[in-house]
Amino acid sequence: MEHMPEASRDRHSPFPPDAPTRADAKAMDARDPLAGARDQFRLPQGLIYLDGNSLGALPRRAPDRVFEVMRLQWGEDLIAGWTRHGWMDLPLRVGSKIGELVGAPDGTLVACDTTTLNLYKLLAAALAERPDRRTVVSERGNFPTDLYVAEGLFRTLGQGHRLKLADRAEDVVAAIDTDTAAVMLTQVDYRTGALHDMDAVTKAAHDKGALTIWDLAHSAGALPVDLAGTDADYAVGCGYKYLNGGPGAPAFLYVARRLQASFVPALQGWLGHARPFDFDPAYVPAEGIGRTIVSTPSVLSLAALEAGVDTLRSWRMADIRAKSEALTEIFRILIDPLAERLGLTRASPRDPALRGSQICYRHPEGYAIIQALVERRIVGDFRAPDILRFGFAPLYLRHVDAWDAAANLVDVIETRAYDDPRLRVRARVT
């Protein structure tokens, strides 16, 4: 099917007669307000990339930006670059730009370290804010590293803290009680794309005297987030998914302004000191969000991340979200009527307003099916035990890409193109 001439694809459509056609998808692309955004990314010819929820595409401005920092700033100015080019200010400068995308006012969000380290900092701070409480509420399906961080921190503290895990997202609010110190959730479920109601959960937590920690790894850059407007307490997120900051890009963290003065850094780094270049052996925390910074800024990585964030900031988040919903919905409308016949079970909510920028299906041969699609240059990913995950990054994906991906998914399953032992050999990264 991947070699089918474009003009004949609708004639060979695997979908019911009343389904959207490839021509319909192309018409949607013709009136797409984000159509020009695709040109701002480097994408391999003929590739349909549905894994931007794992690693975003390369913004065209990123290589020049990083090369400028390497050749002109580092290469010419060496150590003077810290002052002359404001390298030390990058965490706050880039953080402020990310803050525009997630409803975080200036001085409440900083780009630094990794999501895991930042989560450790915030969870420790939340427990210090609620010293008489011992429970952290999360859900069993939360991203594993979030749960690992909590368990590791609890062992370090040795004060009888525990994780209380809801089996379903809808059970989280009922799990919050007067012993809950913090509610720690990923806003968009990494496996299913199901979207938590940040406003409702935060209000429920506050009603019980608990704090909230939101993981925005699958939210930031893909859908509107309003941290200040929902009165969220803390948040973390990564820079390499929808922010397109590159592999292992710096993460970010948010601390509501009302909590900054009492924020107790569990990781006391020299750049979180009030006067780092006094080299005082006694730690004195910096004012505000600066105290959350631990290490020397990763200048090259922050330069790449800034290029990704600047690319994103060129477009309206409302348009990004509208296209995200349209992309996942055309895929769902095409696949759902055939799902039972194909052995697929939708894992994502039916309503596009209740999911992030991805849609997922379950199949016993999920891994091999994804590998068969990759061989056709349609890149999604697999999440154990059986989830086929298709991420739709609105800035560089087209509606016709969604149509072609759905058609190839049907063909791969119907022709059993996945039924090859070679495609069942699990790679280290799935």
Active site residue 240: yes
Active site residue 26: no
Active site residue 321: no
Active site residue 241: yes
Catalytic, out of 323, 332, 389, 398: 389
Catalytic, out of 241, 362, 376, 398: 241
- Residue 284 token pair: 């004195």
Give the whole-angstrom CA distance, residue 264 versus residue 260.
9
Catalytic, out of 41, 240, 242, 361: 240
Angle at 35 between CA 325 and CA 305, to 5 degrees: 80
The 3-class SS string of the chain reads CCCCCHHHCCCCCCCCCCCCCHHHHHHHHHCCCCHHHHHHEECCCCCEECCCCCCCCEECHHHHHHHHHHHHHHHHHHHHHHHHCCHHHHHHHHHHHHHHHHCCCCCCEEECCCHHHHHHHHHHHHHHHCCCCCEEEEECCCCHHHHHHHHHHHHHHCCCCEEEEECCHHHHHHHCCCCEEEEEEECECCCCCEECCHHHHHHHHHHCCCEEEEECCCCCCCCCCCCCCCCCCEEEECCCCCCCCCCCCCCEEEECHHHHCCCCCCCCCHHHECCHHHCCCCCCECCHHHHHCCCCCCHHHHHHHHHHHHHHHCCCHHHHHHHHHHHHHHHHHHHHHHHHHHCCEECCCCCHHHECCEEEEECCCHHHHHHHHHHCCEECEEECCCEEEEECCCCCCCHHHHHHHHHHHHHHHHCCCCCCHHHHCCCCCC
Give the whole-angstrom CA distance, residue 405 versus residue 83.
49
Give the whole-angstrom CA distance, residue 186 versus residue 194.
10
Catalytic, out of 32, 113, 215, 381: 215
The residues that bridge with 379 in the sheet, in sequence order, are: 49
Maximum pairwise Cα distance, the chain:
74
Q: Contact 253/121 with Cβ under 8 angstroms?
A: yes
Residues 6+ apart with CB under 8 A from 153: 120, 123, 124, 127, 161, 266
Catalytic, out of 15, 143, 154, 382: 143
Active site residue 199: no
Give the whole-angstrom CA distance, residue 418 versus residue 410.
11
- Annotated catalytic sites, by residue? 143, 215, 240-241, 389
